[in-house]
Amino acid sequence: MPVKPLVIAIVGAVALGASACGSSSQPDTLRVGDDAVSTPQGVPPEPTPMEAFEAVKSEIATAAAADRATEQRVDKAIAQAATDCLARSGVAHDLTTPTSAVPAYDYPNGTELWTWDQSDFGLATSLENPAVRQSFLDRGARGSNRNAVPPEGFQQAYFGPPSEVVTIEAPSGDVVDVLTGGCAAKAVEEVYGATIEDVERTRISLLPVLNIHETAIAEAPVAQASKAWQACMSDVGFDDLLGPDDVTAPLGEALTPVLMENESTAGLAETESELAQAHVNCLNESFATAEYLAAYTETANRLLEKHDAALSHWQQLRAQAMKSTDEGITE
Cα 268 to Cα 75, 264, 278: the distances in Å are 33, 8, 15
Q: Which of 28-37, 78-87, 223-232, 247-256 has the lowest mean pLDDT?
A: 28-37
Q: Please write the tens of the pLDDT for every residue from 36-48.
A: 445 566 677 888 9
Rounded distance between C-alpha atoms, residue 292 and residue 144, angstroms: 36
* Percent share of the chain, pLDDT over 90: 60
Residue 137: what pLDDT?
79
Q: Stretch 311-329: mean pLDDT, rounded?
A: 85
More confident residue, 160 or 99: 160
Phi, psi of 285 (to 5 degrees): -70, -35
**What is the C-alpha to C-alpha distance for residues 120 and 118, in angstroms, rounded to an integer?**
6
Residues in contact with 316: Cβ distance below 8 Å, sequence separation at least 6, in sequence order: none
The one-character DSSP state at 238 is -
So what's the pLDDT on residue 39? 52
Q: What is the pLDDT of residues 130-140, one digit of tens each?
A: 888 888 877 76
Q: How confident is the model at residue 25 (pLDDT cuts 50, 70, 90)?
A: very low
Neighbours of 144 (CB within 10 A): 9
Indicate the helix (H) or strand (E) that contains 179.
strand 175-179
The Cα 287–Cα 222 span in angstroms is 9
Which of the two residues, 265 and 16, has the higher pLDDT score? 265
From residue 277, alpha-carbon distances to 2, 133, 281, 292 in Å are 9, 24, 6, 19
Q: What is the pLDDT of residue 179?
A: 96
Residue 329 confidence (pLDDT) above 80:
no
Burial 21-47 (b: 16+ CB within 10 A, else e): eeeeeeebebeeeeeeeeeeeeeeeee
Question: At CB < 8 A and 24+ separation, what contacts does 153-156 make?
Answer: 153/89, 153/90, 153/91, 154/86, 154/91, 154/93, 156/182
Q: What is the DSSP letter of 161?
A: -
Mean pLDDT of 241-266: 92
pLDDT > 70 in the chain, percent: 80
Q: Is the pLDDT of residue 242 over 90?
A: yes
Q: How confident is the model at residue 23 (pLDDT cuts 50, 70, 90)?
A: very low
Residue 249: pLDDT over 80: yes
* pLDDT at residue 98, as a whole number: 65
Instruction: Give phi and psi for 37, each to the nearest 5.
Output: -130, 130
Residue 24 has a pLDDT of: 36
Average model confidence (pLDDT) across the chain? 83
Tens digits of per-residue pLDDT, 100-137?
Answer: 555 678 889 999 999 999 999 999 999 998 888 888 87
DSSP state for residue 174 in the 8-state scheme: -
User: For residues 74 and 191, what is the distance between their CA atoms, to the nearest angstrom?
Assistant: 8
Among 275, 304, 72, residue whose Cα is nearest residue 209: 304
Q: 227 with 277: CB under 8 angstroms?
A: no
Give pTM, 2 decimals. 0.74
What is the predicted pLDDT for the residue at 67?
67
The 10 Å Cβ neighbour count of residue 60 is 21
Tens of pLDDT, residues 46-93 = 889 999 999 999 888 887 766 677 788 899 999 999 999 999 999 999
